[in-house]
Structures are given as structure tokens and as C-alpha cells.
């Protein structure tokens, strides 16, 4: 019995130390990315490795100020309209999604932009309850340590925007031969509308479905209004 208690104490001590080390490491990692741009992500590495020889792998980082306002507003209008109000998890949206999914075959998600940044930047591709738990954990850290501007900046730079293409700057250059800063409202809406299925979409030659989604994004942008971010600034 003594030996069992000794082993249990030993295991508990190392579990406790491991937990503290994990929290400290992830805290510092997240804090670092408040100022340092993530050099790559697990998904980017995987797609770079699998990118066909006839495809060009593209990703170019642009600062928040060099991203079109239409892209910023479009992302929020399409993906997370409570972005400036919630603290990482939108419980109201989760509730609505649960109710919607009860009566619809095609399910609807409720991930916020902060959650998408957490899984894109810090986690591996795939789906599991373990990954979801880490996603919530990193979402809390991001909201605690980053500004909303930084979260949106990182989101628009690491999001997959096409085959072997990441970030809105790479997408703007690929589809419209211009910078992310100079996109028109319609062009920005097309890129944002393609985000749910970027590998199947071509904003330069939009399908009827993508055009319909673009119109939806534009309507939501009008509803949010051009002063959306100003209303929540300090």
C-alpha cells in the first residue's frame, strides 16, 4: 500500500509540473504572437507539402492597416457578427446553431473568428473533442492577450483562400492582380464568400453559387454599417 501511495504521489507531482509547464509555454507562445507574425501553421505546412508541381504555393503577410476595410468588414459580416462584442465564444450563436441543426440536414457551425484563429495558428488539422478543448483554451488566451485588431489581422493572413494559397494578400494577387489594400467592395466580398470552400471556389470566375454568397456578404456588410468597428473602439 505504501508503495502504491508513493507511485501515485510521484505521478501527481509530474502531472502537476507538466500542467504548469504547458500553461507557461502556451501563455508565452500566444503572447509572442501578439507582436510576432506566425511564420507558418500546421495546415500551411501540410498544403505546401501536398501542393502539386503545377501549382504555386503562395502566402504573403500584410499588416492590419494594409488590408482593405471591405475585407475586414466582410469577414466579420460573414463569419462572426458579434466579433467586437464577445470574449471569444459566442454562446448565443452556439444556441442558435444547436436549434437550427435539430431541424436541418445541413448543419451550421458557430465558431467565432477568435476560435478559427486558435485552431488555424496553434493546432493541427482535423476534428476531435481533444482538439476542440485545446481550441477553447487557446481562444481564451488569444482574447486575453491580443487586441481585436490583431485577431482579425492574423485571421485574414492565415486563412486558406484557395488551392495552395493562404491569406487575403495572396488571394488578391492571384485572383485580381492587385493588393489586398486596393480591392473593391465586390472583390473583397467574393474572397470572403469563398472562405467556407476556398479550394473549390474561384473569385475571379465566380460560379452562380459563389455570386449568391457574395450578394449575401454584401447585404450583411450594409447591415453592419461602415462604422461597425468605430462603435466598439475605446
Euclidean distance between CA atoms 113 and 138, whole angstroms: 12
Question: By C-alpha distance, which of 57, 77, 62 is closest to 180?
Answer: 62
CA distances for 95 relative to 107, 110, 111, angstroms: 13, 9, 12
Q: Which residues of the chain have pLDDT under 70?
A: 2, 4, 8, 10, 97-100, 102-109, 234
Specify which residues 160 forms β-bridges with.
Answer: 166
The pLDDT value given to residue 105: 63
Rounded to 5 degrees, φ, ψ at 51 are: -65, 125
Give kind and range of the element (H or E) at residue 211.
Answer: helix 208-224
Q: What is the pLDDT of residue 108?
A: 63
pLDDT at res. 125? 87
**Rounded CA gap, 92 and 102, in Å?**
16
Amino acid at each position: 500500500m505504501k508503495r502504491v501511495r508513493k507511485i501515485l504521489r510521484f505521478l501527481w507531482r509530474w502531472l502537476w509540473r507538466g500542467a504548469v509547464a504547458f500553461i507557461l509555454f502556451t501563455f508565452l507562445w500566444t503572447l509572442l504572437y501578439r507582436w510576432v507574425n506566425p511564420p507558418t501553421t500546421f495546415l500551411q505546412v501540410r498544403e505546401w507539402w501536398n501542393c502539386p508541381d503545377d501549382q504555386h504555393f503562395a502566402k504573403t503577410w500584410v499588416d492590419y492597416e494594409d488590408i482593405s476595410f471591405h475585407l475586414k468588414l466582410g469577414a466579420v459580416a460573414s463569419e462572426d457578427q458579434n466579433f467586437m462584442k464577445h470574449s471569444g465564444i459566442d454562446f448565443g450563436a452556439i444556441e442558435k446553431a444547436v436549434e437550427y441543426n435539430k431541424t436541418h440536414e445541413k448543419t451550421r457551425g458557430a465558431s467565432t473568428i477568435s476560435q478559427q484563429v486558435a485552431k488555424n495558428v496553434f493546432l493541427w488539422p482535423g476534428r476531435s473533442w481533444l482538439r476542440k478543448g485545446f481550441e477553447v483554451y487557446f481562444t481564451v488566451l488569444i482574447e486575453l492577450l491580443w487586441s481585436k485588431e490583431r485577431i482579425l489581422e492574423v485571421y485574414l493572413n492565415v486563412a486558406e483562400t484557395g488551392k495552395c494559397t493562404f491569406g487575403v494578400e495572396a488571394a488578391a494577387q492571384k485572383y485580381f492582380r492587385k493588393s489586398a489594400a486596393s480591392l473593391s467592395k465586390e472583390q473583397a466580398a467574393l474572397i470572403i464568400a469563398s472562405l467556407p470552400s476556398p479550394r473549390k471556389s474561384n473569385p475571379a470566375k465566380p460560379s452562380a453559387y459563389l455570386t449568391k454568397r457574395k450578394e449575401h456578404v454584401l447585404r450583411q456588410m450594409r447591415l453592419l454599417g461602415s462604422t461597425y468597428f468605430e462603435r466598439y473602439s475605446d
